[in-house]
Amino acid sequence: MLDTFIFLLYNAFVIMNIYDYSELFSIYKSLLTEKQADVFSLYVECDLSLGEISELKSISRQGVSDTINKTKEILSSYEEKLGLLAKNRMLKKLAKEHGGDIEKELNRIIGD
């Protein structure tokens, strides 16, 4: 029972992590190199495995892994310094708390 709980908790963390990185990627992708953006897009948006990306891009699995990990570090660093995702989430939360009209206007402005 405990093993199942730990497994589910770990998977929830990984999924949440992927979701967070997907959001960070949508905000900061223009600041990445073309290679980083291309590989990370395949990983996060297309949900491809390291092996699939490796075959598609003709680079080693280790190269794909290194690129993804480096990109995660870069995205986290940008968010740490700029905080655009946190601000976006805060605005959405405030909009929900204070009425639908504000939420619609914020969504129109920030494009979600």
Q: Is residue 31 part of a domain?
A: yes
CA distance 15 to 21: 10
Structural domain harbouring 62? 2-82
Q: Which of the four pLDDT bands, split at 50, 70 and 90, describes residue 97?
A: confident
CA distance 6 to 13: 10
Closest CA to 27 of 76, 98, 90: 76
Q: Is the pLDDT of residue 110 over 60?
A: yes
Residue 86 and residue 79 in contact, taking contact as beta carbons nearer than 8 Å: yes
**Residue with more model confidence, 97 or 81:** 81
The CATH number given to whatever domain includes residue 32 is: 1.10.10.10
Note the pLDDT of residue 16. 54
Total domains present in the chain:
1
pTM for this entry: 0.72
| pLDDT tens digits along 61-84 | 999 999 999 999 999 999 889 988
Q: Is residue 95 part of a domain?
A: no
